[in-house]
Amino acid sequence: MTETQVSLLDSGGDGAVTMRNAVARCLDEVRRLGVPGAAATETCGGSLAVIAGIGTTAPHALRGTLLLDALTAQDVEVADALPFADPDALAADGSWDLALVLSPWKQRVADRLESLTESATRTGVVDTVVRGAGTTAGVNTNSWAAQAAMETVLGGRAPASVLVLGAGGSSNSVALACRRAWPATRLVGSARDPEALAGWARRFEAEQVAPAELKALCAEEIPALIVNTTTWGETDDSETRPFAFDFAELTAPGNCYFDLNNRVSALQTAALRAGMNVMSGTFMQRVTNACRAALLSAGPR
């Protein structure tokens, strides 16, 4: 894979810089599609928008503080928030301006949209849909948000190796982010589903290692950055089941751990106790929502 390096850091490890640059890159991707901007209604104080959502947690996400904070920062007022059962129900309603796409639909909605950003095309993942002038564009904000989070937690350093745990939709966004930020970095994935892992490894020219073989990998080289893209740690109930990986053997003082789950989980606590630099998914979620708010307030003019 020939990749041109795209960093979100101007200098150092400033999270505000990575967030601004991630939003700018995401907007630029949508603008390059040549589609009209989101059709939010302009008001004297900003914009009035109808936000939709599909996915298991859509009703909760549409009321989420992080989303509402991002919209408020861009002077976007929510006129209505509409959860739908599936992509067909979403497409049948013409009233919304921007839609959140959540699990289990992120990898299943792309073929129903008129256009996709480059990141959405390369990952097969759509987490946001923008509607304007009768057309819909699928956007992957998560790849830019994950990159902002990883570059920030690393403080501007380029990791020698990155280990991605899990091979679901989010792992694709993380892998693309890694390839953009650090084209020469060794990228390794591990997951319980060997077929999904093999497809992920082919897509991003990465290495694949079965969970039982991670100890041997760490004997060779402890990953400088570990990324958990699984849902283990998302809820209290998820932590009652065994984790698929021996997490303790992956940790090393001074290395970094990034967990896509917003909740402060047992894995995050274990990484802190091991002396690692740790970031939860909250920063990534803030960047994702900043991208969504920017799409509504600025749009691809």
The 8-class DSSP code of residue 250 comes to: G
CB 227 within 8 A of CB 279: no
Same domain (yes/no): 263, 175: yes
Residue 102 pLDDT exceeds 80: yes
* Amino acid occupying residue 95: S
Q: What is the pLDDT of residue 14?
A: 78
Same domain (yes/no): 233, 291: no
Task: Give Cα 23 distance to the centre of its chain.
Answer: 13
Same domain (yes/no): 120, 188: no
Residues 88-113, mean pLDDT to the nearest whole number? 94
Q: What is the pLDDT of residue 301?
A: 39
Same domain (yes/no): 224, 264: yes
CB 82 within 8 A of CB 50: yes
Same domain (yes/no): 115, 227: no
Within 13 Å and on the Cβ side, how many CA atoms surround 62? Answer: 23
Does any domain span residue 115?
Answer: yes
Query: What digits encode the pLDDT tens for the residues 271-295?
Result: 999 999 999 999 999 999 999 999 9
The CATH number that applies at residue 216 is 3.40.50.720
Residues 64-90, mean pLDDT to the nearest whole number? 95
User: Range of 162's domain?
Assistant: 144-283
Same domain (yes/no): 160, 262: yes
pLDDT band for position 91 (50/70/90)?
Answer: very high
Same domain (yes/no): 94, 187: no
Please calculate the CA angle 84-85-90 and round it to the nearest 5 degrees: 45
Query: What digits encode the pLDDT tens for the residues 107-161?
Result: 999 999 999 999 999 999 999 999 987 789 999 999 999 999 999 999 989 999 9
Provide the Cα torsion 26, 29, 31, 35; round to 10°: -110
Of all helices (H) and strands (E), which one includes residue 154? none
Same domain (yes/no): 196, 113: no
Does any domain span residue 6?
Answer: no
Same domain (yes/no): 184, 173: yes
Residues 63-79, mean pLDDT to the nearest whole number? 95
Does any domain span residue 10?
Answer: no
Q: What is the pLDDT of residue 2?
A: 57
Does any domain span residue 26?
Answer: yes
Does any domain span residue 5?
Answer: no
Same domain (yes/no): 202, 261: yes
Q: What is the pLDDT of residue 298?
A: 65
The model carries a pTM of 0.93
Does any domain span residue 220?
Answer: yes
Same domain (yes/no): 268, 289: no
Query: What digits encode the pLDDT tens for the residues 186-242?
Result: 999 999 999 999 999 999 999 999 999 999 999 999 999 999 999 999 999 999 999
Query: What digits encode the pLDDT tens for the residues 26-66?
Result: 999 999 998 765 555 555 456 899 999 999 999 999 999 99
Does any domain span residue 7?
Answer: no
CB 255 within 8 A of CB 233: no
Same domain (yes/no): 185, 106: no
Does any domain span residue 117?
Answer: yes
Number of domains within the chain: 2
The CATH number that applies at residue 93 is 3.40.50.10860
Q: What is the pLDDT of residue 13?
A: 63
What is the average pLDDT value for the chain, to the nearest integer? 92
